[in-house]
Amino acid sequence: MAAVVEQSGRYLLVEELADDAVVFNQPAGHLDPDESLLDAVIREVLEETGRTFVPEAVTGVYLWTHPSGDTYLRVPFAAPSATVARARYSIPGLLTHAG
């Protein structure tokens, strides 16, 4: 799952390493065992950005196949920026995050 947060034409992104390259991505991740999609996206946004996320809508359901052949089902959730509370602390393993 992933989070889409837009404010005045700007999007909340995380900078991370993927396949040995620095990339910008939506806060996103995988389900933990017995975790709902909603709980997972809330947890991932908090872990990756330090922000509290209140999902309001599913923006779509997408299949993506990595060049390795692994296939992923991606379910992005949207929330207006007003529902994302600001937090200020560093996240271990994260290069930078929106402030």
- pLDDT at residue 48 above 80? yes
Rounded distance between C-alpha atoms, residue 25 and residue 12, angstroms: 9
- Residue 20's pLDDT band (cuts 50, 70, 90): confident
Contacts of 22 (CB under 8 A, 6+ apart): 15, 16, 95
5 neighbors 53 (Cβ within 8 angstroms): yes
The residues, any chain, with a CB within 8 Å of residue 11's CB and separated by 6 or more, are 4, 5, 26
Which domains, from first to last, does the chain contain?
Answer: 2-94 (3.90.79.10)
pLDDT beyond 70 at 97: no
Mean pLDDT of the chain: 82
What pLDDT is recorded for position 83? 62
Mean pLDDT over residues 83-88, rounded? 55
